[in-house]
Chain A
Amino acid sequence: NAGVTQTPKFRVLKTGQSMTLLCAQDMNHEYMYWYRQDPGMGLRLIHYSVGEGTTAKGEVPDGYNVSRLKKQNFLLGLESAAPSQTSVYFCASSLMGLPGYTFGSGTRLTVV
Chain B
Amino acid sequence: KQEVTQIPAALSVPEGENLVLNCSFTDSAIYNLQWFRQDPGKGLTSLLLIQSSQREQTSGRLNASLDKSSGRSTLYIAASQPGDSATYLCAAFHTGANSKLTFGKGITLSVRP
Q: Which residues of A contact B (CB under 8 A)?
A: 31, 33, 35, 40-45, 48, 50, 56, 58, 90, 92, 97, 99-106, 108
Contact call B43/A90, Cβ cutoff below 8 A: yes
- Distance (whole angstroms) from the CB of A98 to the closest CB of chain B: 8
Question: Using Cβ atoms and an 8 Å threshold, which residues of chain B touch A104?
Answer: 43
Residues of B within 8 A of A (CB): 31-32, 34, 36, 41-46, 49, 51, 89, 93, 95, 98-101, 103-106
Q: Once bound together, how far apart are the Cα atoms of A85 and B44, in whole Å?
A: 21
Count contacts between A and B, CB distance < 8 Å.
Answer: 50
**B-side interface mostly:** strand
Bound CA span A99–B99, Å: 10
List of B residues within 8 angstroms of A105 by Cβ: 42-43
| CA gap between A90 and B46 in the complex, in Å | 14
A-B pairs with beta carbons under 8 Å apart, 27 shown: A31-B99, A33-B101, A42-B89, A42-B103, A42-B105, A43-B89, A43-B103, A44-B103, A45-B100, A45-B101, A48-B100, A58-B100, A90-B43, A97-B99, A97-B100, A99-B34, A99-B51, A99-B93, A100-B46, A101-B34, A101-B44, A101-B101, A103-B36, A103-B43, A103-B44, A104-B43, A108-B41
Please name all residues of chain B whose beta carbon is closer than 8 Å to the beta carbon of A92 when the two chains form the complex. 44
Q: Report how far A92 CA is from B100 CA in the complex, Å.
A: 11
Q: Which residue of A lies closest to B100 (CB)?
A: A45
